[in-house]
Chains A and B, each alone.
Chain A
């Protein structure tokens, strides 16, 4: 086990099929700290390289509940406690609740949506202007038509030589050492 001074090893493939195969192989090999870079999400690859849960839904739930309850309570407070008025002879009490449903619903949705987007960006650690993988030559095509698999140096099984040999066995277009 030699501690490594690189971020990881990046293998470049030119088809979705190839990277899918590669990702599975790597997973069977026991690699865990690895990531794939593909122009579009590919189910199998994600299964192979990603953590078990995204965490997004939980925050959305929180947001939704806060929004809805907040919206409803605000209206109740405004119309019955803080500044009750005789509006068209309607009693200024809880019996007015049906009028408050639309806003309750909307505010619920609003906060849920914000929660979804914010948690997405935050959990993905964005915005992140610099990242080692950007150093890989030709990586700009990761967003277009090339498929990359990167085994990171932090992985317990990572070893410069053996990992490189393993990647070679997947017939990539090329293998690059990712500068940190």
Chain B
């Protein structure tokens, strides 16, 4: 048993036989590859994403030309896919910061190999998310009226509105995530500068590296600043989705006016974020042979996080139903029944299946470590989280206080095209990222390698002197 516990930590977060040089070489070689050697697979993937991006642009063009009437919106369902997609994307955008910031604070060094990637994903997801609130406006060209700026109207935004809060939350989140990401990139830019073959490459990366020279004094401030950014991002990431949830919770609509929204939205965000990270890392680690850096242990840990957050979300669903019944208000009670047996009930039950039932499989190590399953599962969760927002937005709106105004909501071609299109934008950015930037944080990996070596040495030493004695705590990671 104890033997096992001592063997256990050997389950590596970096594959065997890696040195600083090999790590650096392996990772940096991808962005440094000559354009002409770009892998065909990448080209195909990029082409597909790009065509969807074009669909996105066309949809936006048509939207601006005709108005939001091209969607299935109506009264009472005045919010549809645009808001659903917004919340969905912003939720996905939470994993990155969480992984890099929160796990950093908790000193989960296994994060190092996925945080750069996750942060990039966050940025692109937030970019997609940020577009939708503007697109969904009736007069999108006036979106800047939501921002406080001196103007001849003498008008201000109406700061009591959750939508005004959104503007600040989203923009702050986007900015801070970007800073966090860029700061993390500086040393790696230096590496790329130093490894660059061509003059142009060297100059570009040299510019980006700001003349970073890996000085210990710089490292000193760097680590401090990075830690502070993490400490700032952690409450930020919680606040952002809480505020997004207030878009609904502040209203008085049955199904929106729910006090548990903030925590359960945040949990949901982490849930969907990790799902998306899995969806993306599993193929990429395969195509770029990064199994040594993104190991089974990473997948296993992410699965565990999803199990926890997924269960919280599930609890949230159940609580909504419970409150609906407990409220003793005809409106709330009807809302609950309408979700479960109303015209959109299949969406609700699909949601329960995707986000409530299936994640329970993750209690078993077999599923946590079964890569094909994890991949499919992560996609199921992505769908489930989208359904969650559909359930909240549409099912609550389509039947509320006065039965006379009840109506159905049917998405149109343009609803779908804009959603698919935003995926196009996301993946286009992602493909560019994995091609032209180090998708894994090189210096952190080297640092990780260093500490792993240290541990290994100490472990070795201990095994030699007192074989079979109590294993040291927290040898995990």
| A, B assembled together | yes
Residues from chain A with a CB closer than 8 A to the CB of B129 are: none
| Complex alpha-carbon distance, A9 and B22, angstroms | 29
| Complex alpha-carbon distance, A48 and B64, angstroms | 61
A109 near B235: Cβ-Cβ < 8 Å = yes
Q: Does A107 contact B (CB under 8 A)?
A: yes
Select B210's contact among A51, A96, A127, beta carbons within 8 Å.
Answer: A127
Residues from chain A with a CB closer than 8 A to the CB of B158 are: 85, 87
Q: Does B354 contact A (CB under 8 A)?
A: no
Q: Does B349 contact A (CB under 8 A)?
A: no
Residues from chain A with a CB closer than 8 A to the CB of B239 are: 102, 105-106, 109
| Complex alpha-carbon distance, A145 and B243, angstroms | 45
| Complex alpha-carbon distance, A145 and B206, angstroms | 19
9 A-B contact pairs sorted by A residue (CB < 8 Å): A36-B215, A40-B443, A54-B220, A60-B232, A90-B160, A102-B168, A110-B176, A120-B221, A129-B206
Interface residues of B in 309-352 (CB under 8 A from A): none
| Complex alpha-carbon distance, A56 and B179, angstroms | 15
Q: Does B236 contact A (CB under 8 A)?
A: yes
A124 near B221: Cβ-Cβ < 8 Å = yes
Residues from chain A with a CB closer than 8 A to the CB of B214 are: 37-39, 142-143
Contact A49 B156, CB 8 Å, known A40-B443, A56-B224, A110-B175: no
Contact A87 B187, CB 8 Å, known A39-B443, A50-B220, A103-B165: no
Closest CB-CB distance, A67 to chain B, in whole Å?
Answer: 9
Residues from chain A with a CB closer than 8 A to the CB of B372 are: none
Closest CB-CB distance, B320 to chain A, in whole Å?
Answer: 23
> In the complex, what residue of chain A is closest to B222 when comparing beta carbons?
A120
Q: Does B431 contact A (CB under 8 A)?
A: no
Residues from chain A with a CB closer than 8 A to the CB of B444 are: 40
Residues from chain B with a CB closer than 8 A to the CB of A116 are: 179, 225, 228-229, 232
Q: Does B24 contact A (CB under 8 A)?
A: yes
Interfacial residues, chain A to chain B (CB-CB below 8 A): 16, 35-42, 45-46, 49-51, 54-57, 60, 71, 74-75, 78-79, 82-83, 85, 87-88, 90, 96, 99-100, 102-103, 105-107, 109-110, 112-114, 116-117, 119-121, 123-124, 126-131, 133-134, 139-145
Which of B42-50, B51-59, B188-196 lies at the binding interface?
Answer: B188-196
Contact A128 B243, CB 8 Å, known A143-B191, A145-B21: no
B228 near A41: Cβ-Cβ < 8 Å = no
| Complex alpha-carbon distance, A139 and B211, angstroms | 13
Closest CB-CB distance, A23 to chain B, in whole Å?
Answer: 8
Chain B 122-143, CB-CB to A under 8 Å as 1, else 0, gives 0000000000000000000000
> In the complex, what residue of chain B is closest to A98 when comparing beta carbons?
B160
A103 near B159: Cβ-Cβ < 8 Å = yes
| Complex alpha-carbon distance, A110 and B179, angstroms | 10
B187 near A143: Cβ-Cβ < 8 Å = yes
Interface residues of B in 143-186 (CB under 8 A from A): 148, 154-160, 164-165, 168-169, 171-172, 175-176, 179-180, 182-183
Contact A37 B215, CB 8 Å, known A50-B220, A102-B169: yes
Q: Does B36 contact A (CB under 8 A)?
A: no
Closest CB-CB distance, B348 to chain A, in whole Å?
Answer: 30
A54 near B224: Cβ-Cβ < 8 Å = yes
A113 near B194: Cβ-Cβ < 8 Å = no
B211 near A103: Cβ-Cβ < 8 Å = no
Instruction: Count CB-based A-B contacts (< 8 Å).
Output: 192
A126 near B210: Cβ-Cβ < 8 Å = yes
A110 near B172: Cβ-Cβ < 8 Å = yes
Select B19's contact among A123, A131, A145, beta carbons within 8 Å.
Answer: A145
The 8 A-B pairs with the shortest beta carbon distances in the complex, nearest first, are A140-B194, A41-B219, A127-B210, A120-B225, A40-B447, A78-B156, A145-B20, A128-B211
A144 near B195: Cβ-Cβ < 8 Å = yes
| Complex alpha-carbon distance, A100 and B216, angstroms | 43
| Complex alpha-carbon distance, A123 and B225, angstroms | 11
Tell me which of B24, B156, B164, B195 has the highest count of chain A C-beta atoms within 10 A of its own C-beta.
Answer: B156
Contact A38 B219, CB 8 Å, known A128-B211, A144-B194: yes
Residues from chain B with a CB closer than 8 A to the CB of A88 are: 160
Q: Does B218 contact A (CB under 8 A)?
A: yes
> In the complex, what residue of chain A is closest to B22 when comparing beta carbons?
A145
Q: Does B407 contact A (CB under 8 A)?
A: no
Closest CB-CB distance, B95 to chain A, in whole Å?
Answer: 19
Q: Does B212 contact A (CB under 8 A)?
A: yes
| Complex alpha-carbon distance, A131 and B179, angstroms | 25
Residues from chain B with a CB closer than 8 A to the CB of A42 are: 216, 219, 450
B217 near A99: Cβ-Cβ < 8 Å = no
Closest CB-CB distance, B469 to chain A, in whole Å?
Answer: 26
Tell me which of B156, B171, B216 has the highest count of chain A C-beta atoms within 10 A of its own C-beta.
Answer: B216
Residues from chain B with a CB closer than 8 A to the CB of A74 are: 148
| Complex alpha-carbon distance, A123 and B210, angstroms | 13
Seed contacts A113-B176, A143-B194; 8 additional CB < 8 Å A-B pairs: A49-B216, A87-B160, A102-B246, A113-B229, A117-B182, A117-B229, A119-B225, A145-B21
Contact A109 B172, CB 8 Å, known A39-B446, A74-B148, A144-B21: yes
Select A102's contact among B165, B183, B225, B443, beta carbons within 8 Å.
Answer: B165
Closest CB-CB distance, A158 to chain B, in whole Å?
Answer: 18
Q: Does B213 contact A (CB under 8 A)?
A: yes
B172 near A36: Cβ-Cβ < 8 Å = no
| Complex alpha-carbon distance, A50 and B48, angstroms | 50
Select B183's contact among A46, A105, A117, A139, beta carbons within 8 Å.
Answer: A117
Tell me which of A45, A79, A109, A126 has the highest count of chain B C-beta atoms within 10 A of its own C-beta.
Answer: A109
Q: Does B223 contact A (CB under 8 A)?
A: yes
